[in-house]
Amino acid sequence: MNIKQILNEKVSAAMTAAGLPEGTNPAISLSNRAEFGDYQANGVMGAAKKLKTNPRELATKVVEQLNLDGIATKIELAGPGFINIHLDQNWLTEQLNQVAQDKFIGVAQRGVNAGDDAQTVVVDYSAPNLAKEMHVGHLRSTIIGDAVVRALEFRGDKVIRQNHMGDWGTQFGMLIAHLSDKLAGDEVAETALADLENFYREAKIRFDNEEGFADRARADVVKLQSGDAACAKLWQQFIDISIAHSEEIYEKLNVSLQRSDIMGESAYNDDLSTVIDELMAKEIAVESQGAKVVFIDEMANKDGEPSVFIVQKSGGGFLYATTDLSACRYRSGKLAADRIIIFTDARQGLHFKQVEIVARKAGFLPEAVGYQHCPFGMMMGDDGTPFKTRTGGTIKLAELLDEAIVRAAALIKEKNPDISDEDLSKISEKVGIGAVKFADLSKNRTSDYIFNWKTMLSFEGATAPYLQYAYSRIQSIFAKAGVTEDTATENTPVINIVEPQEKALALKLLQLEDVIDAVISECTPNLLCNYLYELASLYMSFYEACSILKDGIEADVKASRLALCKVIADTLKQGLDILGIEVMDRM
Ligand code: ARG
C-alpha cells in the first residue's frame, strides 16, 4: 500500500494525456492544511515554467484528464496551479481493512515489496577503528546505518552490510610490539587487552618515550603488511578481542551487524598495489615528490589549483584513500552493487568526493552505480562542545549505554514501584537503549545535536519511552478486552472509519510505506521517527475521544476500534523495529 505511488501514477498519466512530456514529475506531497485536501500535486507549476505556458490553464487540463474515481471525492485547483486531492473515506477504509486483513491472517510483513525495482545496496556503516574501544563517535554511524539497512530490507531490496573496520595501518605496529612484550611476560591476550583504551595509552607512551620502541613498531607494521606469520598472529589476537568488544555493543544496541559483515581495511591489502598500477597505467595518478598522487581538476580551488589526492606515500605505504578505491571496485564488481551508501561523520566529506571522482575515472565505479556518502553531525554535550567526559576524555560507548539503562531503571521504578526485578531489568534495557537511539535517530542527520538525558528519557514528546508507552497502552486494552493474537486471527473485524480522529489515523497508518520510501531515498531515519511520533499522538487523541471498552459501546463499534488499535500497534512495532527499538506489552 503506497498512496503516494498510486497518486503519482494517476497524475502522471493525466499529465501525459494533457500533453506534457513523458516523465514530468507530478510532485505529490501531503497537504499541510486540511482545507487543501489530503494530498497535493504540485508538479504543474514547474512544468508550465519549462514550457513557458500559463500554469493555471495547464493545471485545468491536467485535472480534466485526471481520473481518481473511487479514490478521491474531490479534486480542486488552487492558487497558481496546485491540484488538491481529497481522498474518499470509503477508499481509505477499504485500504486500511486490507492492511488489517493482511496483518491478522499473518501474511508477510507490510513490506513495500520493491519487486522489479529491487536493488542490491551495499551499506558501509559502523566501521569502528579497532585500535581503540568504540566511542560515542561511532554511535551515529552504527544506528543510522542500521536503520537505513532495515528500511531497505523492509522494502525488499537486497542489502549487503559492510563493516569497514579500521584494522590496519601504522598504529598496529605499536600495538603488536607492545602485545608481544606482554605475552612474553606471561600475560594472556584476554587480560592484556581487557581495557583497550588503557592498552593503547601504554603502547603510545612507549612509542613516544622508549628508546628503540618506535623503530620496532615501524618494523612490525612493514612485517605485518608483507605477511610475516608471527606479526600476523599477534595482530589476529588483537583484532579478535577488539571485534568481540564491538560485538558486545552491537548486541546491546540491538544492531543487526554480524561478524560475517566485517570487511575491514586489511581485507583490501592484497589489491592495493594493483589499484596503484592501474591508476598509473591509465595516467590518472602521477609521481609527485616520490609519492603517487591524483590531481583532481574537477575539485580545483578558486585559484585553479587542483585538489590533491595522495594514493601512495613516498615510502611506498598505502593510505585510507587507496583502500577506499579498492573498496569501490570490490563493491561494484564482486558484490554487484546498484547503490553504495557510506555513513561517516561530516569531516570525511572531502575524502569521499575525491574517492568517487577518481574511482569513476579509473572505471572502478561504473556510472550506473550510485555512490552516496551520508555525512552526519556531531554529538554535543550540554555546553554545546563535543561530548566528552568530565575530564575531557572520549566517552566509551559501552559506558554510555550502561548509564542509559541505569537511568531508565530509576525512571521505571518510580512509575511502577512494585515491578519485579526481572521485569525491571528487561524493560529498562529496552527503554534506556531505545531512548538513546531514538534521540539520535530523530535528529536531522546532518546537524550536530545536544545529547541530553532528561529529554530523551521523558515520557512526553518525541521520545522512545513515549512511543513504547503508547504501544504498551494498546496492549493493555487488548488484555482488558480479552483479545489475543489467536482470537484476532480467527475473524478479522471490519474497521469502520467514522470519527475525525479515526480518519486521521487511517490516513496516517496508510502512509507508512511512503515514509519508508523517503527514508530510503535520502537515508534519513528521522522522517520515520517523526511519523511514529505523529502516529502515537493521533492514537492518544483517538483514545481520548473515542471510547473502546466503555459500557454501552455497540459490539461492532468496539470490534472496529479494537481492530484499528491492532493496526496502530502493529505499525508502531514495525516502525520501531526498523529503528532497532524494541517494544513491550507492559512497562
Ligand atoms: N573507520 C573509519 C572511521 O572511524 C570509518 C570508515 C568508513 N568507511 C569507509 N569506507 N571509509 O572514521
Tell the residue nearest (CA) to atom 12 of ligand 1: 344
Distance 342 CA to ligand 1 centre (A): 8
Q: Which three cell numbers stand for residue 317?
A: 605505504
Tell the residue nearest (CA) to atom 9 of ligand 1: 164
Contact 188, 286 (CB under 8 A): no
Q: Which of 130, 139, 164 to mutate to test the pocket of ligand 1 (most atoms within 8 A of CB)?
A: 164
Query: Where residue 32 sits, what CATH number does that domain have?
Result: 3.30.1360.70
**CA 135/CA 404 separation, integer angstroms:** 15
Q: Three-class SS of residue 81?
A: coil
Tell the residue nearest (CA) to atom 2 of ligand 1: 127
In one-letter notation, the amino acid at residue 321 is: A
pLDDT at 98: 87
Strand partners, 318: 312
Distance 514 CA to ligand 1 centre (A): 31
Query: Is 155 among the domain residues?
Result: no
- Cell 492492511 sits on residue: 99
Sort 88 into a burial class: Cβ within 10 Å, 0-12 / 13-18 / 19+. middle
Distance 166 CA to ligand 1 centre (A): 7
**CA 424/CA 408 separation, integer angstroms:** 9
**DSSP state string for 440-456:** HHTS-TTS-EE--HHHH
Inter-helix orientation angle 397-415/137-155, to 10°: 70
Report the residue count for the chain.
587
**CA 105/CA 111 separation, integer angstroms:** 15
CA distances from 361 to 222, 294, 297 (A): 30, 11, 12
Closest atom of ligand 1 relative to the 137 alpha carbon: 4
pLDDT at 587 over 60: yes
Residues 6+ apart with CB under 8 A from 117: none
Q: Is 126 left (phi over 0), alpha (psi -120 to 50) or beta?
A: left
- pLDDT tens for each residue of 248-258: 999 999 999 99
Residue 155 pLDDT class (50, 70, 90 cuts): confident
Distance 127 CA to ligand 1 centre (A): 5
Distance 118 CA to ligand 1 centre (A): 27
pLDDT at 365 over 80: yes
Q: What are phi and psi of 175, to 5 degrees?
A: -70, -40
Distance 168 CA to ligand 1 centre (A): 12
Query: Where residue 469 sits, what CATH number does that domain have?
Result: 1.10.730.10
**CA 2/CA 510 separation, integer angstroms:** 7
- Cell 574537477 sits on residue: 298
pLDDT at 283: 97
Domain's final residue, options 87, 117, 150:
87
Domain's final residue, options 87, 121, 147:
87
| Cβ neighbours around 433 below 10 Å, total | 22
**Stretch 395-407: mean pLDDT:** 93
Q: Which of 348, 372, 397 to mutate to test the pocket of ligand 1 (most atoms within 8 A of CB)?
A: 348
Name the helix (H) or strand (E) containing 363: none
| Cβ neighbours around 80 below 10 Å, total | 13
Q: Which three cell numbers stand for residue 566?
A: 491492532
- pLDDT tens for each residue of 72-110: 999 999 999 999 999 999 999 999 998 888 765 443 454
Query: Is 213 among the domain residues?
Result: no
- pLDDT tens for each residue of 498-535: 999 999 999 999 999 889 989 999 999 999 999 999 99
Contact 510, 99 (CB under 8 A): yes
**CA 521/CA 508 separation, integer angstroms:** 20
Query: Is 526 among the domain residues?
Result: yes
Q: Three-class SS of residue 75?
A: strand
Q: Three-class SS of residue 467?
A: helix
**CA 219/CA 154 separation, integer angstroms:** 48
In one-letter notation, the amino acid at residue 584 is: M
pLDDT at 1 over 80: no
CA distances from 415 to 156, 418, 430 (A): 40, 9, 16
Torsion of CA 119, 253, 237, 127, to 10 degrees: 40
Distance 324 CA to ligand 1 centre (A): 9
pLDDT at 31: 86
- pLDDT tens for each residue of 271-295: 999 999 999 999 999 999 999 999 9
Q: Which three cell numbers stand for residue 63?
A: 485535472
DSSP state of 70: T
Distance 402 CA to ligand 1 centre (A): 25
Distance 67 CA to ligand 1 centre (A): 50
Q: Which structural domain, as residue segments, surrounds residue 463? A: 400-578
Q: Which three cell numbers stand for residue 333?
A: 564488481
Contact 138, 126 (CB under 8 A): yes
**Stretch 2-13: mean pLDDT:** 91
Q: Which of 261, 319, 344, 354 to mutate to test the pocket of ligand 1 (most atoms within 8 A of CB)?
A: 344
Domains contained in the chain, number: 2
Closest atom of ligand 1 relative to the 348 alpha carbon: 12
DSSP state of 283: T
ipTM metric: 0.99
Residue 136 pLDDT class (50, 70, 90 cuts): confident
Residue 173 pLDDT class (50, 70, 90 cuts): very high
- Pick the residue with more confidence: 485 or 557? 557
Query: Is 484 among the domain residues?
Result: yes
pLDDT at 111: 52
Domain's final residue, options 26, 61, 87:
87
Query: Is 524 among the domain residues?
Result: yes
**CA 401/CA 245 separation, integer angstroms:** 13
Tell the residue nearest (CA) to atom 5 of ligand 1: 127
Find, among 176, 96, 161, the residue nearest to 131 by Cα: 176
Query: Is 120 among the domain residues?
Result: no
Closest atom of ligand 1 relative to the 352 alpha carbon: 11
**CA 228/CA 231 separation, integer angstroms:** 6
- pLDDT tens for each residue of 444-501: 999 999 999 999 999 999 999 999 999 999 999 999 998 876 665 556 678 999 999 9
**Stretch 54-71: mean pLDDT:** 95
Half-sphere exposure of 65 (CA within 13 A, CB side): 18
- Any residues with Cβ below 6 Å from ligand 1, and which? 124, 127, 129, 164, 166, 324, 327, 342, 344
Closest atom of ligand 1 relative to the 138 alpha carbon: 4
Closest atom of ligand 1 relative to the 327 alpha carbon: 10
Distance 187 CA to ligand 1 centre (A): 32
Query: Is 104 among the domain residues?
Result: no
Q: What are phi and psi of 509, to 5 degrees?
A: -60, -35
Q: What is the pTM of this model?
A: 0.93
**CA 450/CA 466 separation, integer angstroms:** 20
Contact 352, 372 (CB under 8 A): no
Query: Is 405 among the domain residues?
Result: yes
